[in-house]
Amino acid sequence: MMAERVDVPALAGHFGRAVAVAGIPVTPERSTRFVQTLELTPPATRSRLYWAARLAFISGPDQLEAFDRVFDEVFGGLVDPATDRGDPNAPSRRDRARAARERTSAPSATMGLGGADLRDAGEADGDAIRELAVAAASSEERLAERDFAELDQDELRALRRLVAKLALAPPPRRSRRLRRNPHGARLDLRATIRSSGRTGGDPVRWVLRSRLERPRRLVFLCDISGSMEPYTRAFLQLLHAAVGGARAEAFVFATRLTRITRALDSSRADVAIERAAATARDWSSGTRIGESLKRFNDRYGRRGMARGAVVVIVSDGWERGDPLLVAEQMRRLRRLAYRIVWVNPRSASPEFAPSTGGMAAALPVCDALVSGHNVRALSTVADAIAGRQSGGGS
């Protein structure tokens, strides 16, 4: 993602030249290592940018002071290296900057290899370096704050890495199966009697068991109607990550319900999403939430898929059918599911009110209403799935 926005070799070349001017030996191999580090692990924070540069260019503790001074001057004080080293007695960034200015005021302090002036090098490339550094350090942060409806195709592809990091963990349930556990609360009488044969029939060693805990089933129902089109591609990436990571069941609906779990069960996200889009023939059409919920309850829900499961419905609540049917089917689903989470990207707006027919009919039986309109908001979706959030949070 960073490589798509930042000229990484240019960033490494500018900074390497400034480090060399400060008197630190810089070889082409070290600059190449810096480029490879940034491309392999793009720095999501400014602190990571500092450590990536330090590991690439520093070869001894005697170079650390000069390196920190160059980093502060070149990148405009983006990072406080002393804070990252965890020294509580280290001077603040303001004090360090003042000391750096005092050092650079002396002619001898600014002379590096070949008698070059470090301040001249910084003035020549400072603006370009600073622009590249800010873009490199905060590209993921900016993407995480942007609304899914505003992303272009390149940004949607970059979004996959962030969505893949999201941990979707439904709360556990107690299984009927038992396993041996030295701290269990239930005595396994047969196993205890069998083991007593080794001690002359005296049950010296008790065999205890406890019930297994397994994660609850996770089911996604995603609206792909025309009103949800700006968000559909981003949420399909969430469904792909859920199918691959949490072994979730995935459905999409507009005028009818389509199961896409098998289509999304692939390690290649682009192939899986295109296959899922081809499976759903009612893409970007009208919305029949009530009829789709009825089909899910009749064909899958009452047969066990929704029983004790966490059901996540992704929709803006626009309903062309009868809202009373939505309310009826949501009550049926409520009797089967352990938890119902409704994800409405429109709820992020300050002017949002659950006044649409489908949303107003469904909200009374939902355990949580969240927005999920960007990557930051997806963390609230994960919290709602895990049961750490309830009510109408967005």
Domain CATH number, residue 313: 3.40.50.410
- Alpha carbon distance 54, 62 (integer Å): 13
Residue 342: which H helix or E strand, with range? strand 339-343
Q: 344 and 232 in one domain?
A: yes
Instruction: Read off the pLDDT of residues 44-98 as tens digits, 9 standing for 90 and up.
Output: 676 777 888 888 888 778 888 888 888 887 765 444 444 444 444 444 544 554 5
Using the structure block, give the residue that is written with the tokens 């609906």.
253
Helix, strand or coil for residue 37?
A: helix
What average pLDDT does the segment 175-191 reach? 78
Of residues 394, 372, 266, the one with CA closest to residue 313: 372
Mean pLDDT of the chain: 80
Q: 196 and 298 in one domain?
A: no
Residue 161 lies in a domain: no
Percentage helix, strand, coil, to 5, in the chain? 55, 10, 30
Q: Percentage of residues in the chain with pLDDT exceeding 90?
A: 34
Residue 311's beta-bridge partner residues?
219, 340
- Domain end (from 161, 184, 214): 214
Q: 196 and 123 in one domain?
A: no
- Domain end (from 187, 214, 241): 214
Q: 225 and 201 in one domain?
A: no
Residue 227 lies in a domain: yes
pTM over 0.85: no
User: 133 vs 13, 176, 181, CA distance in Å?
Assistant: 12, 55, 54
* Rg value, the chain, Cα: 29
Residue 131 lies in a domain: yes
pLDDT of residue 249: 96
- Alpha carbon distance 175, 192 (integer Å): 22
Instruction: Read off the pLDDT of residues 120-134 as tens digits, 9 standing for 90 and up.
Output: 444 444 555 555 555
Q: 131 and 227 in one domain?
A: no
Please check the confidence at residue 306 and state whether its pLDDT lies above 70. Answer: yes
Q: 232 and 202 in one domain?
A: no
pLDDT of residue 116: 40
Q: 187 and 253 in one domain?
A: no
| Cβ-based neighbour number of residue 95 at 10 Å | 11
> Are the beta carbons of 242 and 220 closer than 8 angstroms?
yes
| Cβ-based neighbour number of residue 310 at 10 Å | 27
> Are the beta carbons of 321 and 253 closer than 8 angstroms?
no
Structure-model confidence comparison of residues 55 and 250, the more confident one: 250
Q: Which domain holds residue 349?
A: 218-386
Helix 153-164 and helix 118-145, axial crossing angle in degrees, nearest 10: 80
Question: What's the domain count of the chain?
Answer: 3
Residue 153 lies in a domain: no
Instruction: Read off the pLDDT of residues 337-392 as tens digits, 9 standing for 90 and up.
Output: 999 999 999 999 888 888 888 999 999 999 999 999 999 899 999 999 998 865 55
Structure tokens at 144: 């995480």
Q: 268 and 315 in one domain?
A: yes
Of residues 129, 132, 116, the one with CA closest to residue 14: 129
pLDDT of residue 127: 55
> Are the beta carbons of 284 and 255 closer than 8 angstroms?
no
Residue 169 lies in a domain: no
When mean pLDDT is compared across 2-16, 214-228, 314-328, the lowest value belongs to 2-16
Q: 326 and 225 in one domain?
A: yes
- Alpha carbon distance 21, 129 (integer Å): 15
Structure tokens at 1: 């993602």
Residue 302 lies in a domain: yes
> Are the beta carbons of 195 and 187 closer than 8 angstroms?
no
What average pLDDT does the segment 234-241 reach? 94
Helix, strand or coil for residue 231?
A: helix
User: 95 vs 44, 98, 100, 244, CA distance in Å?
Assistant: 26, 5, 9, 50
- Alpha carbon distance 102, 91 (integer Å): 15
Structure-model confidence comparison of residues 263 and 191, the more confident one: 263
When mean pLDDT is compared across 41-50, 159-168, 316-325, the lowest value belongs to 41-50
- Alpha carbon distance 198, 259 (integer Å): 55
Helix 8-21 and helix 118-145, axial crossing angle in degrees, nearest 10: 150
Residue 132 lies in a domain: yes
Which phi and psi (to 5°) does residue 311 adopt?
-105, 125
Q: 353 and 224 in one domain?
A: yes
Q: 91 and 42 in one domain?
A: yes
Within 8 A by CB and 6+ apart from 16, the residues are 26, 30, 31, 34, 57
Residue 334 lies in a domain: yes
Instruction: Read off the pLDDT of residues 102-123 as tens digits, 9 standing for 90 and up.
Output: 544 443 333 333 334 434 444 4
Q: 224 and 87 in one domain?
A: no
Report the helix count and the strand count for the chain, using DSSP H and E: 17, 9
Q: Are strands 172-180 and 208-215 parallel, antiparallel or unpaired?
A: antiparallel
- Domain end (from 145, 164, 195): 145
